[in-house]
Amino acid sequence: MRPAEAVVVAKKKWNELSPRTRRLIIAGGVFEGVLKVAALIDLARRPASEVRGSKVRWALAVTLINSVGAVPVAYFAYGRRKLGCQATTGFEPR
């Protein structure tokens, strides 16, 4: 068996998919889009000192990589620095 023959993917047109499958694909796309927009808004508002790594690289990764939500979640989990009360809430303690 040649490497090109090892994987066979059934290609279906949109109309051939079941309504449930179509709804799941749409829901997944909306979910990923919302995560990407939220990550980009947070990245734009957050000072560079509170971001691990380059803001430009994070923005490019969030925007360009089709990740099923993994890159935006990685940004929220690892890309932001946690600097006490002021950084997380935006308000200074009295």
What is the per-residue pLDDT across 22-67, written as a single tens digit (0 to 9) for each? 999 999 999 989 999 999 999 999 999 999 999 999 999 999 887 7
Q: Is 58 within a domain?
A: yes
Tokens 């490497």 belong to residue: 3
Would you say residue 76 lies in a domain?
yes
Residue 52 lies in a domain: yes
Residue 14 inside a domain? The answer is no
Kindly report whether the global pTM for this prediction surpasses the value 0.75.
Answer: no
Q: Which domain holds residue 76?
A: 48-89
The count of structural domains within the chain is 1
Q: Is residue 38 part of a domain?
A: no
Query: Does the residue 1 lie in any domain?
Result: no
Report the C-alpha gap between 93 and 49 in whole angstroms.
20
Q: How many CA atoms does the CB half-sphere of 8 hold within 13 Å? A: 4
Tell whether 85 is covered by a domain: yes
